[in-house]
Structure 1
Amino acid sequence: MLAFLFCLFSGWRRLRGFEIKTSSSGQCNQAGPQSSTSCYKDRTSTTQSVYTVTGCNQPSSASFSGRTVYVSTPNKPLTLCEVEIFADQARCNTGYYSISRSTCQPCNKCYNNTCDPTTGVCTGDCKTGFYGTKCQQNCSDGCLNNRCSKSDGRCNDCKPDTVGQYCNRTCGAECQPRSDQTTTTCDRNGRCTNCMVGRHGDKCDMSCNTGCDGRCDRNDGKCTSCIKGKTGDRCDINCNDNCTSCNQGSADSCTECKDGRWGSSCNKLCNTNCKPVVGTTVGKCDQMTRTCINGCLPGKIGLNCTSDCEAGRYGENCTSKCGNCVDETPCDIITGSCGLVGCVDGFQGPTCKDVQTPQEPDDYTTIIAAVVSAVVAIIIASVVIFLVLKCRRRQKSRESDQVLANDIPMKAKTDASRPSEKQLKVEEKPIESGNTYVNPLGSSNKEEVGERSTQVYVNVDEPSEPSTRVKLTNLLPYIKSRKKEKTFKTEYQTLPSGLCSAYDYCMNAVNKPKNRYKNICAFDHSRVKLDIENDDPNSDYINACYITVSY
């Protein structure tokens, strides 16, 4: 923009020190100058009739451009004859360049903000992070310190783990990752600094042999060390059959032998008296000294397990002392057994260490065993007969429509089938209180007995007859006595059967449906009581009893 200001001769002095402001949006009113930008101030020392303004001289304005131009002077009033404004190529201040007739663009990406005012090409280098003729392109994020070539943007150097001219690629997956910030995974050309475990080659693109125990040489692929059982530069040769591992240079230079072997090449056998390794049948000994590692078998002692236990000792490490063998004969060094010589009097057992308890003669023991067997056989036969008779009695009862056990009243009734000797025996004793069997056949009230053959029991306070339990030590005399008296049958028939205690809760009308069988009840004194629910006193009933077990 070019401006010409003309004034009359008489107004020259008033125009002196004038100021030009521009605005792209301001209106031509009193508020306009306040929001406009100062472009030019007159600094001439002499007055002129014509002022030619070709550009701005104020730092606040980059270019002489705008929609509205304001002219003011510190001296009032302002006298102007003519103001002429011509649009032309903008002339930009230092640090700017022209992009149109009225617009200047800053060259703030050029080093020191210096550029050609017409083309905008930076006259020097670019600021850090930019490249190009006008330094308007960003360097790659992978450039170290954000520096790159001004001409083509190639990075001066790359950040760690990035490669390529523009540092926009990463190191290969075969490269060993860097361990800290001071190392790199690969160089700028992509060559790995170190290969991943199991890889080798210039680009770490080849695998080490499967026999290598991890790493191998990057250049030739030779294994650093071998896995167990392998040898050779590439660990592709087996150690000899007696080794579990060997030196990398020789298959016969063993560093560990298989169980049961020793020697530099593991070609010698350990002593057979070495204690076997768990899960095997062979012992393990030191590769150089042949010493048994896990100790000796029972009966053997010494580093190589070649010596027997001394007389009077046996077992593992020979720590056990022999028992009481006859004539102080040495026991077996393995088991401690006295063998055929046996134990001295008063001792017994495999090692003759158990004190012998006095015993009755063998023939007496045999007699007792025979008697016990006979009694057991008699009892079994009696039980079988009883069950058969009971089954027949039930069948007869059904045929005659006798009442079920649930309908049996609590007052006593008896088994009419009992033999007379039983009846006579019971008649001799009065009925007493307690929980015992009562046979009312001896009662004079025959109507009470009736024709029903059901066995009935009532509660009495004390047993009506003494206990018939017999101690084992008295069993044989007892059997002989009963045989002689011929009272076994009578005694057997005194055994109680049926319901022997009170069972009122079982017969309760509410509880009857809870019984699975009508003739099997839970006794009142030993029944299992459930927790009462909903205040119902009958809710605690279940057809189950506690029993007492004797040991």
Structure 2
Amino acid sequence: MCAERCPSNCLENNCNIIGYCNACKTNYTGNKCETRLCQNCYQQMCVLDTGICSRGCIGGYYGNKCTINCSEKCDPRICNLITGDCTYNCTNGYYGPKCEKPCSSTCHSQTCRKNNGACLNGCQNGYYGLFCKQLCSLQCKNAVCDFNNSRCVSGCNEEFYGPFCSLSCSPNCAQGGCNQSNGFCNEGCLPNWRGNICDKCSPYFYGTNCSKRCSSNCRGGHCYAENGTCVKGCKRGFLGHQCKLECQDYKYGPNCVFDCGHCKDGKPCVKTNGSCLDGCETGWSEMFCLKVTSSIIDLQSGVKFVQNQRKSPNTQRGKEQTDSMPASSANCVEETQLNEQNIEFRNDHTYSKITCTPKSSEYQEIHVYRNTDLSNK
């Protein structure tokens, strides 16, 4: 006698003698149709009483009953049964656990890493960094830089150089800018400047912006850029660190160290070379008026005479004779008998030696020293 009812999910309540359903109602399965077949459950298997998917969800759903859609950004569209986090990757342009965050718009091809959003294929032009949010230098040509270290990869705009194009070419470069690796001026320097990067004054200029020309009185025309001091000293007739001071009257030569000769009417000589333009005082000759020409020598002019007389049998008589005679006439007969003189410069004195033609057997040498006091001699 059949005392028990067939399971409720048996189709048309039809079961065998031990209670197994001959067939199940829709969405149910099992011997007694005790397992519910859910639409989003894996193999449509779920617990009969609760509807919880016992074997997980089909693709695109998650939750204990597989009723929640996985994010459309999951690639493929499979997510964690409990959390809904995308199991694999995200579609292009998104990242995050559920691929809910957009990649940076400056990522190349808008592709980024799923876990942190770092750009996968570099940055769009003009940006660099892990997330391509930092701007390349505006001096990079075409605004292109390495997305890892921001180095300009296509060179620099004109007037800039260096790996990051952060250095300015010298403003003293001529047209054409500078070499973008070392800053050397491509077309040379503007006037008054020199050097690889045109940062030094040319030898003929000095001062701020090399705007001042060295003194024309500098020997060689060169001066130091800092203060205009002449590198090789002054031309004749000038002195001072910039050689702008002329020699005082009656001085001439390098640094004005020489005294003028006996110029006519006491006029000063030319300060560069010591020449007397209007000639010499009487008794002096040549361009510098330092050579004695007259046999008449004024003792008051500071001339020291050194007389040497050849020995003779009447030495005392000869001495008395020369002591009583003017030195100019003792042994020199006439001015025309004077031999050519030799002139030497010794320190601050001018030395002149006059050799006279001897009269009979006597001779005399006259040594002339300028600036010599003959008193008490």
**TM-score normalised per structure 2:** 0.41
Larger Rg: 1
Which structure is higher in helix share? 1
